[in-house]
Amino acid sequence: MSRISVRGFAVASATAVTTVGAVVGVASGADQGAGNEPVEAAGTTTLLADIPAGQQVQQASLTDQVVAQSDAADASARQAAEQDARKQAAQDAAAKKKAADEAAAKKREETLAASRGDSRATFPFKASYTVAEVKAMAQQIVGSGQYACFSNIVTRESGWNYLATNASSGAYGLVQALPGSKMASAGSDWRTNPATQIKWGLNYMNVRYGSPCDAWAYWQVHHSY
């Protein structure tokens, strides 16, 4: 069997160093007694096979400990990195969700604002208005959310004629207010300004029924409102 030579073999403890020296001394004495082989000075060349088995085990144990500590440090570093990655991913997901929620809320608010309409909208005065112009006014004042219901009532009450008068009852205007003078609360020009009539009619439906669509639901049952 060939023997592995370890020159300047470094051991981890003073005990190991002492043992190596002793082993070398014993080996040198034995060789000198034989008178056949030259003796190499202690500390120059030490053969691993000459180290007692107990010291070899001790050295292997120290090496294993170093490797184990290194592996544990690597595992701890990996675990910390994974935790940081998970934390960052959670933060990114939360930020993304917050941004999406804010965008959705803004869109809902914009949609709701459009559906509510603008009861304070003003329009240039004209001597007369076409049906298309009156409907455009109603769309802006009433809002898209309730316009269809409002339109259903006005279509059946006056056919979008802001000058319509009921010969038998005296109801007047787009929404057939009875008496027509009620609409003066929305403006003194109630007789000739469709915008004033629309604003009054919208307020009446909101106060009495809750909304134009609630008023339309009532109208479908009673054919009046």
pLDDT digits (tens, 9 = 90+) for 175-223: 999 999 999 999 999 999 999 999 999 999 999 999 999 999 999 999 9
Mean pLDDT of the chain: 81
Tell me which residue range forms the domain holding 179: 131-222
Number of domains in the chain: 2
Does any domain span residue 125? no
In a domain, residue 171? The reply is: yes
State how far the Cα of 30 lies from the Cα of 144, in Å rounded to an integer.
111
Neighbouring CB atoms inside 10 A of 118's CB total: 12
- Does the pLDDT of residue 30 top 70, yes or no? no
Query: What is residue 121's three-state secondary structure?
Result: coil
pLDDT per residue as tens digits for the range 52-65: 666 666 777 888 88
- Residue 139 pLDDT exceeds 50: yes
pTM of the model: 0.53
- Answer whether 137's CB lies under 8 Å from 143's CB: no
From 72, 94, 122, give the residue that closes a domain: 72
CATH of the domain at 155: 1.10.530.10
Q: Please check whether residue 193 lies inside any domain of the structure.
A: yes
**Is 200 within the bounds of a domain?**
yes
Higher pLDDT, 100 or 132: 132
Residue 20 within a domain: yes
Residue 148 lies in a domain: yes
